[in-house]
Chain A
Amino acid sequence: MGGTGALSGAARRGGGFAGYLARRLGASALLLLLVVTLTFGLIHAAPGSPADQLVPAGPGEAERRARMERALGLDRPLHEQYTAWLAAAVRGDWGTSMLQGRPVARVIAEALPATALLAVAAMAVEYTFALSLGLWAVRRRDRFADHAVRGLSLLLFSIPAFWLGLMAILVLAYLWPVFPAGGMYAPGTDHLGTAARLGDLLRHLALPALVLGLGLGGNTVRFVRNSLLDVLGEDFVRTARAKGLSERRVLGVHALRNALAPLLQIFGLTLPALLNGSLVVEVVFAWPGLGRVVFQAINTRDIPVVLAATVVGAALVLGGNLLADLLHAAADPRVRRKVVAGA
């Protein structure tokens, strides 16, 4: 990354980290604008209009549809619609959902916590699964267990999330009903106490988090395993072993700590997969999150909601990547030097 003269100059002058951050934030903002512009173009180019939903079949349909498009302002030139939307969005006004008649900001804000909860839980599943199986596989390298873990990870990676979801429902909610099949809490439990509601929430969270987390974990397991194997070839591991440390300690402390740093990058890279996966999982498990809002908004061509959700999704991914890089830098002195040098 070259950066502008002023910024790299700042970096050289020792304002390194701030300069780096400013550069990254600027690039992220540009990328965000690009993504939003592209989405705006695509949703307008795609066939269908929100007026199709709002105008029932019957006499005079063509004319009524045209009238509705005018009422929604969809007959104005595209560039006018775009600049109007952008100007409002920059001021923090996301507009009104054309199909729900509610402020878009509220529609998104209501759905975000459910998705955030699901994402955090899924990541907990993903990393618990990946770290434990990765370590296990490395300790039994090239033995049956290792091959089995690699096979399993490939399988999880390849299985579509909706299929895994439906199977989980079939087995764990129907044949052997341990968990509820869907929803975020049981019907009509609003009168229960906090503890009971929390337990209910966790029961409902378990299956979607498991399905989403395992789907992502398939890839991560392979990454953990390979990363550990790379580290095991390093000199310091040989030194640790030469000191007579137990294999468990060599792997679990010395090797793992060094293998973790690259994992932070994987965290940033898997964020889009997490958001994509949550869309599918939310539909299958009737989880009331952002994925469902986006899914419905795209199907009904609810343009303001699609645009706002795109901004939120892209900002999450970009922010996550930035955070991952910063953590990576904090964890690895070599990366940190590069950052400050503005390389």
Chain B
Amino acid sequence: MRRHPFRHPRVRPRPSRRVAALAVPLLLAAALGGCDGCRRPAGGAADDGAGDGTPRRGGQVVIALTSDVGAVNEVIVPATVPTAEVLRRMFLPLVEEMPDYRTVEPRLAESWEFSDDRKTLTFRLRDDVVWSDGVPVTARDVEFTYRAWTDPDVAWGGAFTVEAVERVEVIDERTVAFHFERAYASQLLDVGAGALILPAHAWGELPFSEWRASADWFRENLVVDGPFRLASWAPQHEIVLERNPLYYEEGLPYLDRVIFRVVPDQTSQLTQLLNGEVDFVFQLSPDDVARVEAADDVELVTYWSRGVIFIGWNLSKPPFDDARVRRALTLGIDRPTLIDSIWGRFARPLASPIVPEMVPGAAGRFEPLPYDPERARALLAEAGWEDRDGDGVREKDGRPLAFTLITNTGNRQREDALVILQDQLRRVGVAIEPRALEFNTLVGQVTSGAYDAVITAWVMPTTLDYRFAYATSEIGGSNFVGYSDPRMDALLTEMREAPDREAMRPYLAEMHEIQQRDQPYTFLWQSQRISGIRERVHGAEPNHLYSLFDLREWWVGPER
């Protein structure tokens, strides 16, 4: 049984962004047992010009998005980064997951509790949150939202995250209970933090069967309960949010307006950041770091993303059906050199899908296999692959150890990795033909199994549910390599039912061991997100969950 006391809105001055940006990598460095590359890059040494550092109300910031927001209703459009980032500033979830992978803070719900069997989760809502037309947010909104999530006509992409919910019960105006068919670890995150609560009184009159085609209707009938409301929207160009005067946290947000500009090209985003047309860019390329560091009114903010880049080996095809070959390939890859030449200090090697910060006490536990070309050669020889004709490529039964390694075009880091891996693995007698494919073509080849090996990425869920990667049931879907191991399947199920992260640790350790042994995937790196922000903006602490996580607390100094 858990209760979280409500914390009063913070109007206290927050630590400056510079300190925070420094603190995050340092914490990580500590967690990793030291990491030379993890220091925050120097640069942008000019003074904040913020006087005493007290947040100022007013002003606006301009933020670049790579694509337009899908719609104002998140259940009818793909969950792209721009859509999630912008809608989360207009609508509230019941609770908010915090970036430390540990805590959950109250939002719409001021408290919550589980029944003794953990199959009922009851939320107590705040009594001072209203929609922007003045109508209070009640348990009825929560129940309505649940019906929208699970309606087959609405066909919300995220519906699978709430499939264990049997029903939602309105107990009174401010109390609502989720009844689950079984207890599992991420119940609270799935129903409380994963999606936003929608306005029943405003959107309930449109039948669910019409939702998917009614993006414009939702915009015309938009009411919000978050810190910002929509001021204007020019498709493919600009979305303007303005302060929601009825927002419940007193004094927030600080900014009058936030202007989102759709700038699809990354180089154009950088230029607009440097010449002051935009104040914040989500993602810069590591190649652009030097230019940003040289500018005196722009700063870099770096933080670990949950994006994990890996090679998936097609296990249904020789030679990848032999675990010794897969281990040898992993041992033959010099990951530190690979990472250094592509990312410099902004990425680190990873052994498995486990991002160490997500697991308590994981520091130093999940070490990747080392770079060991000698052992790689020995393993390949043991598996019967030897270079008999002296052409530098091993053979077995007359077939050379050669394959095509694919990735998607338009991602500079992955395309560079193709070439470096080709060079590295040639040294252990493996011939790689690198090929970059248009993204949809790549997805098509991978889902139909018509590939040898692929470099691609996952964003790791904070729920520590790794079924998507290893479960036999996911073959043909996210487990596109076709991995199947009975012990792993049992492990994943047991882990899912663990009551908390602490209880998951032994399972995670075993999962790591099996990954090290079988190497169905060779994990290459986890990178940092490199955001760029103009010095005039204060209070921004982007994190792996959302770059605009605390947008309501961003503020700008007086205009010069």
- Residue numbers of A with Cβ under 8 A of B are 46-48, 52-65, 67-68, 71, 96, 99-103, 106-107, 110-111, 166, 169-170, 173-174, 177, 180-184, 186-188, 190, 283-286, 288-289, 292-293, 295-296, 299-301
Residue of A nearest to B153 (CB): A71
Q: Which residues of A contact B500 (CB under 8 A)?
A: none
| A47–B441 CB distance below 8 A | yes
Separation of A33 and B161 alpha carbons in the complex (Å) = 44
Separation of A26 and B78 alpha carbons in the complex (Å) = 41
Q: Which residues of A contact B232 (CB under 8 A)?
A: 190
Residue of A nearest to B274 (CB): A174
6 chain-A/chain-B pairs, Cβ below 8 angstroms: A58-B478, A59-B468, A65-B477, A71-B152, A177-B275, A183-B263
| A52–B237 CB distance below 8 A | no
Given A58-B161, A65-B477, A99-B77: A187 in contact with B445 (beta carbons within 8 A): no
Residue of B nearest to A300 (CB): B78
Separation of A130 and B214 alpha carbons in the complex (Å) = 47
Q: Determine how close the nearest CB of chain A comes to the CB of B43; give it in whole angstroms.
A: 18
| B212–A101 CB distance below 8 A | yes
Given A187-B277, A288-B237: A173 in contact with B439 (beta carbons within 8 A): no
| B71–A100 CB distance below 8 A | yes
| B458–A57 CB distance below 8 A | yes
| B67–A296 CB distance below 8 A | yes
| A181–B70 CB distance below 8 A | no
Q: Determine how close the nearest CB of chain A comes to the CB of B220; give it in whole angstroms.
A: 12
Given A174-B271, A181-B268: A61 in contact with B440 (beta carbons within 8 A): no
Q: Which residues of A contact B275 (CB under 8 A)?
A: 173-174, 177, 181
| A286–B261 CB distance below 8 A | yes
Separation of A295 and B439 alpha carbons in the complex (Å) = 13
Interface size on B, residues (CB 8 A): 63
The one of A54, A96, A170 in contact with B271, judged by C-beta atoms closer than 8 angstroms, is A170
Q: Which of A182, A285, A288 has the most CB of B within 10 A?
A: A182
Separation of A110 and B233 alpha carbons in the complex (Å) = 12
- Residue numbers of B with Cβ under 8 A of A are 60, 62, 67-68, 70-71, 73, 76-79, 152, 155, 157-158, 160-161, 211-216, 232, 234-238, 240, 257, 259, 261-265, 267-268, 271-272, 274-275, 277-278, 439-441, 443-445, 458-459, 461, 465, 467-468, 471, 473-474, 476-478
The one of B155, B263, B264, B471 in contact with A71, judged by C-beta atoms closer than 8 angstroms, is B155
| B441–A48 CB distance below 8 A | yes
Q: Which residues of A contact B441 (CB under 8 A)?
A: 46-48
| A286–B477 CB distance below 8 A | no
Given A110-B235, A181-B275, A183-B237: A47 in contact with B261 (beta carbons within 8 A): no
Q: Determine how close the nearest CB of chain B comes to the CB of A285; give it in whole angstroms.
A: 7
Q: Which residues of A contact B277 (CB under 8 A)?
A: 180-183, 186-187
Q: Which residues of B contact A63 (CB under 8 A)?
A: 477
Q: Determine how close the nearest CB of chain A comes to the CB of B459; give it in whole angstroms.
A: 8
| B77–A47 CB distance below 8 A | no
Q: Which residues of A contact B213 (CB under 8 A)?
A: 96, 101-103
| A111–B235 CB distance below 8 A | yes
Separation of A61 and B281 alpha carbons in the complex (Å) = 31
Separation of A191 and B215 alpha carbons in the complex (Å) = 26
| B474–A183 CB distance below 8 A | no
Separation of A58 and B73 alpha carbons in the complex (Å) = 21
Separation of A191 and B65 alpha carbons in the complex (Å) = 23
| B271–A58 CB distance below 8 A | no
Q: Which residues of B contact A61 (CB under 8 A)?
A: 468, 474, 477-478
Residue of B nearest to A97 (CB): B215
Q: Determine how close the nearest CB of chain A comes to the CB of B77; give it in whole angstroms.
A: 6
Q: Determine how close the nearest CB of chain A comes to the CB of B462; give it in whole angstroms.
A: 13
Q: Determine how close the nearest CB of chain B comes to the CB of A212; give it in whole angstroms.
A: 15
The one of A52, A289, A293 in contact with B443, judged by C-beta atoms closer than 8 angstroms, is A52
Separation of A63 and B155 alpha carbons in the complex (Å) = 13
Residue of A nearest to B256 (CB): A188
Rank and list the top 3 A-B pairs by shortest CB-CB distance, nearest first: A47-B444, A48-B440, A61-B477
Q: Which residues of B contact A56 (CB under 8 A)?
A: 78-79, 157-158
Residue of A nearest to B475 (CB): A62
| A187–B259 CB distance below 8 A | yes
The one of B73, B160, B263 in contact with A286, judged by C-beta atoms closer than 8 angstroms, is B263
Given A46-B440, A183-B261: A54 in contact with B236 (beta carbons within 8 A): no
Q: Determine how close the nearest CB of chain B comes to the CB of A189; give it in whole angstroms.
A: 10
Residue of A nearest to B79 (CB): A56
Q: Which residues of B contact A286 (CB under 8 A)?
A: 237, 261-265, 268
| B216–A99 CB distance below 8 A | no
| A102–B268 CB distance below 8 A | no
Residue of B nearest to A111 (CB): B236
The one of A103, A288, A299 in contact with B235, judged by C-beta atoms closer than 8 angstroms, is A288
| A100–B70 CB distance below 8 A | yes
| B236–A288 CB distance below 8 A | yes
Residue of B nearest to A59 (CB): B467
Q: Which residues of A contact B77 (CB under 8 A)?
A: 54, 99-101
Q: Which residues of B contact A55 (CB under 8 A)?
A: 157
Q: Which residues of A contact B160 (CB under 8 A)?
A: 58-60, 64
Q: Which residues of A contact B259 (CB under 8 A)?
A: 187-188
